[in-house]
Each structure stands twice: as structure tokens, then as C-alpha cells.
């Protein structure tokens, strides 16, 4: 465990161990984070709301009472599309300025039951879509942190909090994790409850986690969900399917260069690496996901669109206008494509444990007016499969890049275990 002045660098697993053993006070950890927040937040701007007094009260309650559960005393960043009963939830929209929910989202209630507490609300793009909020990339404030989970990814990368919730409907966990150089974990659809999360797509919205290691996202999500996700050292070397996807034309030179050498790099870790091509139905998955997302988003936000359209910014307003005009028959056809892909995916993977695919087209783009291209995220969000971004390497501007580990639907434990194995071996 680092000294008090460096507690902001500690891993989730080490913090949980020290907090449970009473070797570290929750209040001591919180003060260390406050000091680091003072230094970095004015530039990073990851917080949509931070109530220091309330956070301090919760930390002191942790220190005064019994150890509550496996997440005892852990401060968590929470994307501001997730309802919190004790802090405003504004969904990145002026429509909901100072909006105070009456209840916690289900995942927040479970998190508190396990002993953790909300440090603050993290910036989101408007309704987890667009346009972006004020958050900057911690590695270079002139570049986007990605979105829509911009504050969650940037806050973890800037060490303002050790772990954070994000959501993904298209690419809102994996892409900002890539741009900010942290681990992002999008679980299999439904692993964590989305009750109390502002709905954008009722068949795609997925609650996930950011941290600085695979071990940390696995420990946090396992404790929260009650599933055996904690990673352990494995003796068997993984079998990897090296998949450029049908969308590799979107890759920029830094990702093309990375993937030109990555298979050999992974092979040197001892892993078995074979090229893998997705079956023909997957060539339509990105278009299907885009249609389903636009169709469902317009319906999920139909009340805001009808009663508050003057407070909705472009390009979201235009997307809602066109989304409501989309034909249900085309939506049904897109859903049929998704069902077929889900049915064949596990068998199509053959004996591969996971697939290795790009996370984003390249490093974080310059500018804060957009959050990047989700070309390498749409398929896996529609598929409902678990995805883990593993940081590895840098682009021409010195910003992080990496790759995505994709597993079979529901096979989250193995997906996390392989991602952990790769992160450990590639760091050496």
C-alpha cells in the first residue's frame, strides 16, 4: 500500500484488502483523493457533481461501523445517467438541471449494500449520446476523452477515483477506455441491472466498469453481481482468435501498425494466435446496431423530445426527429440480424477462448466537439458479448491505444481471465 500522499495510485484490490483489515481508514483514502482532485480536476473536468461533505460523511460512517461487505469503504465514480438518491442526476441535459431522484438505481443500491459509496457523479454526454460535456483527455486536454462515459474514463485515468461505473449502448465504455488508457469492461448484456439508469436503448444499454487493471474491474463487478469473476493466475495459455473485423478500413495508421505486429507480440507471450474471420451475417451488424439504437433512442426520449425539444442540442435533436420516423418493419429486420448472430457466435468461435479485435480506430482525436468513431464497438454491443479493453501502446501524439478482448455471450469469467493474463504478460 502506498503512502497516504500516493493513495490515489493504489489498485482497487489493494484498497479493499486494506480497508477490510482496518489497515486503512476510508476517511484517509478520501482525503488523499480530494488532494489529487484539487490538482487535476480543474483541467480534466471529470465531475458533474462533487459533494465533499457528503462523501466525507459516508467515509466516516464506514470507519465507525462494521465492515459491511466486499466493497467496504470504496469510493466510486458514477456516470451521471445513473440515479442516485443523495446526489443530483442530470443526464448531461439542461432539462434535468438539479434533478434529484427519489431512489438509487439498482446497481447503486447493491453497491452500497456491499459497502461502497458514491464519491461523485461523472460527466456524461447529453443523455449518453451527444454532444459532449466539458471533460478533457487526462493525457492531453486538447483531445477528447471519448464518450459517452467521458467523466468516468477520464476520472479513473487521472486517478481521481479508483473505479467508476459507465454505460455502453454503442461504444461508450470501450472507446473512452481506449482513448484514456484505462481498462474498460462491458459485461454481457444484463450482468448488472440497468433499473434506474436513464434508458437510451432497451435492448442494448449495458452497465459496466472502468479501472486501471483487469483484476480491479473483475473484483468490483464480481462483488457487485455475486458472480465468480475475480481473476486468478492460470497455467493454461489462452487460444486467441485474431480478428480485424469487416470494419478495419476505419483503422488509422497507429492501429494498423499495432495490429500488424500484435499477433507476433501475443504469440511471444505463449498464447496460441490464429487469424479469425467473422461469418457473413456479421457484415450487417454495424448497420443493424445503428438502426436499432436510433429507433429505440427516439422512443426512449420521446417525452423529452415532445415537451422539451428547445432544450435538446444538436445533433441529438435531429437524430430524435429522424428516429421517430424510422419504420418498425426495418427495426424488426435489424433485430432478426442480431438474433441470428447471437445464435451462431459461440459455435463460430470454434476452439478460440476469445477474440482480439480493435477497440477504436486510433488514439483520441484532437478537439472536444466529438467523441470518436464507434466502428469497432457496434457489433459487440449488439451481440451482447463481454468486452474488455486492454491498454497497449501509444499513437503518434503519445496518446494511449490498445485492443479489445471479446468473449462468448455469458462467458465473462473466461473473458476477464484471458484479458488479465494478457495484461500481465504484455507488461513484462
For the annotated catalytic residues, the residue numbers are: 79, 148, 172
Question: Scanning the structure block, which residue is given the C-alpha cell 434529484?
Answer: 100
Contact 81/195 with Cβ under 8 angstroms?
no
Neighbouring C-alpha atoms within 13 Å toward the C-beta of 226: 4
Burial, 340: exposed, middle or buried (Cβ in 10 Å; 0-12, 13-18, 19+)?
A: middle
Q: Exposed, middle or buried: residue 29 (CB in 10 Å: 0-12, 13-18, 19+)?
A: buried
Cα 113 to Cα 236: distance, rounded to the nearest angstrom:
36
Cβ distance 161 to 50 under 8 Å?
A: no
Cis peptide preceding 334, ω within 30 of 0: no
Q: Cα separation of 148 and 173, whole Å?
A: 8
Residue indicated by cell numbers 459461440? 346
Residues 6+ apart with CB under 8 A from 219: 12, 13, 16, 229, 230
Q: Which three cell numbers stand for residue 187?
A: 459485461
Neighbour tally for 53: CB within 10 Å:
7
Residue 236: Cβ within 10 Å count = 10
DSSP per residue, 370-425: -----TTTHHHHHHT--EEEEEEEE-TTS-EEEEEEE--TT-HHHHHHHHHHHHHH
Listed in sequence order, the DSSP H helices in 158-202 are 174-180
Amino acid at each position: 500500500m502506498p503512502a497516504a500522499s500516493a493513495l490515489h495510485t493504489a489498485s482497487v484490490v489493494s484498497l479493499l484488502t486494506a480497508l477490510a483489515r482496518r489497515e486503512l481508514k476510508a476517511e484517509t483514502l478520501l482525503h488523499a483523493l480530494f488532494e489529487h482532485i484539487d490538482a487535476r480536476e480543474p483541467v480534466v473536468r471529470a465531475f458533474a457533481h462533487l459533494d465533499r461533505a457528503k462523501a466525507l460523511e459516508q467515509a466516516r460512517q464506514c470507519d465507525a461501523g462494521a465492515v459491511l461487505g466486499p466493497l467496504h469503504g470504496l469510493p466510486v465514480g458514477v456516470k451521471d445517467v445513473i440515479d442516485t438518491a443523495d446526489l443530483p442526476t442530470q443526464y448531461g441535459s439542461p432539462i434535468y438541471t438539479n434533478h434529484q431522484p427519489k431512489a438509487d438505481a439498482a446497481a447503486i443500491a447493491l453497491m452500497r449494500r456491499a459497502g461502497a459509496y458514491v464519491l461523485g457523479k461523472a460527466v456524461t454526454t447529453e443523455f449518453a449520446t451527444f454532444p459532449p460535456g466539458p471533460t478533457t483527455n487526462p493525457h492531453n486536454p486538447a483531445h477528447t476523452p471519448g464518450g459517452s462515459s467521458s467523466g468516468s474514463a477520464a476520472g479513473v485515468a487521472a486517478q481521481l477515483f479508483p473505479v467508476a461505473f459507465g454505460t455502453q449502448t454503442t461504444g461508450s465504455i470501450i472507446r473512452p477506455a481506449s482513448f484514456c488508457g484505462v481498462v474498460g469492461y462491458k459485461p454481457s448484456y444484463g450482468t448488472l441491472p440497468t433499473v434506474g439508469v436513464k434508458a437510451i436503448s432497451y435492448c442494448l444499454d449495458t452497465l459496466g466498469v472502468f479501472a486501471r487493471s483487469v483484476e480491479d474491474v473483475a473484483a468490483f463487478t464480481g462483488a457487485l453481481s455475486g458472480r465468480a469473476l475475480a481473476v486468478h493466475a492460470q497455467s493454461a495459455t489462452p487460444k486467441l482468435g485474431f480478428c480485424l473485423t469487416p470494419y478495419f478500413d476505419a483503422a488509422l495508421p497507429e492501429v494498423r501498425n499495432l495490429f500488424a505486429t500484435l499477433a507476433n507480440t501475443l504469440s511471444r507471450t505463449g498464447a496460441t494466435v490464429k487469424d479469425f474471420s467473422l461469418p457473413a451475417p456479421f457484415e450487417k451488424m454495424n448497420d443493424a446496431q445503428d438502426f436499432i439504437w436510433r429507433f429505440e433512442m427516439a422512443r426512449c426520449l420521446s417525452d423529452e423530445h415532445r415537451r422539451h425539444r428547445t432544450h435538446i442540442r444538436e445533433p441529438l435533436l435531429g437524430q430524435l426527429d429522424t428516429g421517430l420516423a424510422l419504420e418498425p418493419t426495418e427495426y424488426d429486420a435489424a433485430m432478426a440480424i442480431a438474433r441470428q448472430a447471437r445464435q451462431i457466435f459461440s459455435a463460430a468461435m470454434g476452439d478460440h477462448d476469445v477474440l482480439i479485435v480493435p477497440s477504436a480506430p486510433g488514439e483520441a482525436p484532437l478537439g472536444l466537439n466529438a467523441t470518436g468513431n464507434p466502428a469497432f464497438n457496434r457489433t459487440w454491443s449488439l451481440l451482447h458479448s463481454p468486452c474488455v479493453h486492454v491498454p497497449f501502446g501509444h499513437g503518434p501524439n503519445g496518446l494511449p491505444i490498445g485492443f479489445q478482448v471479446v468473449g462468448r455471450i455469458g462467458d465473462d469469467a473466461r473473458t476477464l481471465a484471458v484479458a488479465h493474463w494478457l495484461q500481465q504478460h504484455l507488461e513484462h
